Amino acid sequence: MWAGAMIKVAVLLSLVLHPASGLARCAGLDARALELALRMPGAEIHAVHAGDPEAPALRDYLGMGLESLTVLACSAGCDPVPALIARFREIKPNLVLTGMRAEAGEQSGMVPYLISEALGTSLLCDAADVACEGETARVVQALSHGRRREVSVRLPSVLLVNEAGPVPRAPAFAKARRGQILSFAASNPDDAFLAASEMHPWWARPKRMAMPGGGSALERMKAMTEAKAGEGRLLVGPQPEEAAAAIL
């Protein structure tokens, strides 16, 4: 996939919560970005995570083949962008790979754009594959309806990997135990947007009623209010047989 001098690839990794158990796990899109980096021969990979260095789920990223993972210790509710920008300025990577958006928290998708703006690099979203040659990279961009487009970008650049990226390999237990988590103190500025936001459980949005057309006003009113067969039937204290029949 790549020929030439060694290239520095920084991979921005995050954690998400499992929808059923609520436990932390690897982010699917970030894992695809890491898989893409691991498939680049001779690449010098720098994996970076901003958060809790004691999170057990970080070991799954190490199990994919990383020798070390840099964690910028950030407390919950702080803005990780300044710490990430400072770290990337130290690394000076040719490529920054990450998922299209976080799968937990604000999920605004703005973090890669803010990093790209601060570093003064180009940015390309919907990346599915990449091949670097000299100071440019050929990126296969995944479009809608299964279409693909090859784009040439000048390095350094930030690439956002989507669901069309390579399927991440299963983590190996021995590699996960061997890998090192390197923790660094980082700035913890308050996230002003998050502090000003109101958090509440998600609920389904009400759907607009279909307005039937044609017929008289009375017929349209009946079409909107009367219950259809198997819909809108309220049973109060029914017998078991009646309840079972309604369910069926």
What are 45's strand-pairing partners? 9
Is residue 202 situated within a structural domain? no
Residues 94, 160, single domain; the answer is yes
pLDDT digits (tens, 9 = 90+) for 16-60: 888 788 888 999 999 999 999 999 988 999 999 998 899 999 999
pLDDT digits (tens, 9 = 90+) for 54-85: 999 999 999 999 999 999 998 877 888 899 99
Is residue 23 situated within a structural domain? yes
139 within 8 A of 155, measured Cβ to Cβ: no
Residues 222, 187, single domain; the answer is no
How far apart are alpha carbons 60 and 176 in whole angstroms? 6
pLDDT at 226: 63
pLDDT digits (tens, 9 = 90+) for 100-144: 877 766 667 889 999 999 999 999 999 999 998 888 899 999 988
User: How many Cα atoms sit within 13 Å of 196 on the Cβ side?
Assistant: 3
Is residue 61 situated within a structural domain? yes
Domains in the chain: how many in total?
Answer: 2
Residues 166, 222, single domain; the answer is no
How far apart are alpha carbons 73 and 70 in whole angstroms? 9
How far apart are alpha carbons 25 and 19 in whole angstroms? 10
Which helix (H) or strand (E) element contains residue 137? strand 136-142
Residues 124, 31, single domain; the answer is yes
Domain interval for residue 222: 217-247
CATH number, domain of 42, equals 3.40.50.620
Question: Whole-model pTM?
Answer: 0.74
Residues 42, 137, single domain; the answer is yes
Which helix (H) or strand (E) element contains residue 116? helix 111-119
How far apart are alpha carbons 197 and 33 in whole angstroms? 30
Is residue 157 situated within a structural domain? yes
Chain mean pLDDT for the chain: 85
Residues 192, 226, single domain; the answer is no
What are 123's strand-pairing partners? 158
Is residue 2 situated within a structural domain? no
pLDDT at 144: 86
Which sign, positive or negative, has the C-alpha torsion 24, 38, 164, 72?
positive
